[in-house]
Amino acid sequence: MKYIGNERKNLNPNNENIVYGVNVSDKEAVKKKMAEMRRNKTILTIISFIIIAVAGYIVYDFWNVSFNEGEPVLAIKSDVDSGTKFTGIGYVYIECNNGDIYLNEKDDICNPKEVDEDRTFDDVLHDVLLAYLTESKIINDKFGELTINSYNQDSENNNEGYDYFVDLTYTCNDGGYDCFKTLKDKTDKNNLQLYVSLDKTNTVYNVFTFKSKGTQYDKLKEDYKEKVKQYLINNNKYVEDNVRYYDIKLVSNKGKSMFGSTTYEDCYVINISYMCNDNGNTCISAYEDGENNNLSFKANMFLDKDNEVKLIESILVVN
């Protein structure tokens, strides 16, 4: 069968004109369908209006509290020390019993801790360090006392605070030293030198033994640079008249280490770089036989208890 002009095939086997599931020739059915569609449209409009109204009210509540100093409405109420807290969407509103209002502050804002005017930074550093060591389980229940002998501000860190280089001693209740999980081995286990990181609230968030930058690093580098040079000269590995440039970098710290049959108090991995006046590479020797001089090489720098350089060996596995 062919279709001519605007004629089209009727896919309904009974030749009924069906729209939205209703036969358009059935007027009663059409009325019911139209009423249903109007009802659904009304419901959808009401739901949309409610959503827009609620969203608008949330935005208004946030603006009213954050920028207009208004009181919160859409917030969860809870009690805090000497006040009431309202937690809303995007804000925390605290009303103290004395009438003071605070926005986005800590829960104890209404009852701040008393400040001891006699309390020094030494006291603060001691207490926050002890709290960190306890919480991190670096010290155990055998721990006795912690004494900070000295400290120096090193450099600013990434938490809006400072790192401090701290010299400390400690005691254990049993007279030993295993109440403190030392971060590196040394002979005098009850005396430690540590870097302590404090954030902007003077809370300790990290403790470590080596840092490749900062005031303390610069002091160590300058000290050991001269000591390494003197060691190399004394051992015929540094031809001073032929050296145009010489520098060292402290790469890492290993602590108490053994090389061969000798135990050394401390050990740094260092990088030695140099240039020679004759544009060669033999003005500083990396090895006893003078081979493998590449203008830069790594070595183990072994120290005694007085931090004097006792041995420098090209990088090898330390026994």
- 3-state SS, the chain, equals CCCCCCCCCCCCCCCCCEECCEECCCHHHHHHHHHHHHHHHHHHHHHHHHHHHHHHHHHHHHHHHHCCCCCCCCEEEEEECCEEEEEECCEEEEEECCCCEEECCCHHHHCCCCCCCCCCHHHHHHHHHHHHHHHCCCECCCEEEEEEEEEEEEEECCCCCEEEEEEEEEEECCCCCCCECCCCCCCCCCEEEEEEEECCCCCEEEEECCCCCCHHHHHHHHHHHHHHHHHHHHCCCECHHHEEEEEEEEEEECCCEEECCEEECEEEEEEEEEEECCCCCCCECCCCCCCCCCCEEEEEEEECCCCCEEEEEECCCCC
Q: Is residue 16 part of a domain?
A: no
Q: What is the pLDDT of residue 114?
A: 54
Same domain, yes or no: 222 and 308: yes
138 & 103 share domain: no
Q: Is residue 319 part of a domain?
A: no
Domain assignment of residue 277, yes or no:
yes
- How high is the pLDDT of residue 1? 44
Claim to verify: residue 82 and residue 127 sit in the same structural domain:
no
Q: Which tens digit of pLDDT belongs to each residue from 285-307?
A: 876 544 545 788 889 999 998 99
**Domain termination site, one of 208, 224, 247:** 208
Q: What is the model's pLDDT at position 202?
A: 86
CA dihedral 122, 123, 125, 131 (to 10 degrees): 160
Judged against a pLDDT cut of 90, whether residue 269 lies above it is answered with yes
Residue that is last in its domain, among 159, 177, 208:
208
Same domain? 226 vs 301: yes
Q: Is pTM beyond 0.85 here?
A: no
Residue 108, pLDDT above cutoff 50: yes
Alpha carbon distance 309, 270 (integer Å): 12
Does residue 36 belong to any structural domain of this protein?
A: no
* Assigned token pair, 91: 């804000």
Q: Residue 14 domain-assigned?
A: no
Residue 240: predicted pLDDT: 93
Residue 227: predicted pLDDT:
95
Give the domain range for residue 271.
215-314
Decide if 7 is inside a domain: no
Q: What is the pLDDT of residue 27?
A: 74
- Please report which confidence band the pLDDT of residue 59 belongs to, taking 50, 70 and 90 as the band edges: confident
Q: Do 219 and 296 sit in the same domain of this protein?
A: yes
Band (4; pLDDT cuts 50, 70, 90):
very low
Same domain, 219 and 204: no
Task: Over range 223-248, report the average pLDDT.
Answer: 94
Residues 195 and 240 grouped into a single domain? no
- Give yes or no: residues 201 and 221 share one domain: no
Q: Within this chain, do residues 241 and 276 fall inside the same structural domain, yes or no?
A: yes
What is residue 37's predicted lDDT score, i.e. its pLDDT? 84
Query: Beta strands 18-19 and 22-23: pairing type?
Result: antiparallel
Minimum mean pLDDT range among 1-15, 35-49, 121-135, 255-269: 1-15
Same structural domain, 253 and 232 = yes
Q: Evaluate whether residue 232 is within a structural domain.
A: yes
Work out the average pLDDT over 154-175.
91
Does residue 1 lie in a domain region? no
Determine the pLDDT at residue 24.
Answer: 67
Give how many domains the chain has, as a whole number: 3
